[in-house]
Amino acid sequence: MKATIHQSTLEVVQGDITQQDTEAIGNAANSALAGGGGVDGAIHRAGGPTLMSELRAKYKGCPTGSAVITTGGNLKSKYVIHAVGPRYSGSPKDPELLASAYRKSLELCSQNKISSVAFPSISTGIYGYPVEEASRIALKTIADYLKDHPEIKLVRFVLFDSRTYDVYENALKELTKSE
């Protein structure tokens, strides 16, 4: 499903984020930038050892709600944006930290002249963020950013399973009704 937000496209698809041909892909990283399971592990396996070498050389971790950028290694994408979302606790800070992880990722896109990026559903795997709430936060944050940043032409959410895809598709329909 696709929606137009000002001059940009926001879409949700089901698939494998490591196979995307966008200029950058987002990674659901941990604050130690140490690699891990789920999306993080899949991206590191597909991208090869270059990703970890670059992370270790350039960064000493990344705080929750922020993001850092590396090259894409063996991936089709030229860049990987490693975003650290919150572990869900039910705290009032959780939504802002999740929104901030996406916003900081998009700021890195703008700063690096990246016009297309694919994101996973950050924090909804092992970090336990409820997908329904996370999808609304993610899509609204992206849509708000795109309104003032036409240099980003495409933001794609790549969801691994049909349940998560369905939730994001419904959230995008709701968002576009209210726009």
Residues that are catalytic? 40
**Sequence-ordered strand ranges (E) for 56-140:** 67-71, 79-83, 116-119
Q: Return the sign of the alpha-carbon dihedral for residues 8, 152, 2, 138.
A: negative
Q: Report residue 31 as tokens.
A: 């604050």
Beta-carbon contacts of residue 101 (< 8 Å; ≥ 6 apart): 64, 65, 66, 67, 83, 84, 85, 86, 122, 123
Question: Tokens at residue 34, please?
Answer: 């140490």
Bridge-based pairing of strands 2-5 and 116-119 is unpaired
Closest CA to 91 of 135, 131, 129, 132: 129
- Rounded CA separation 57/118 (Å): 25
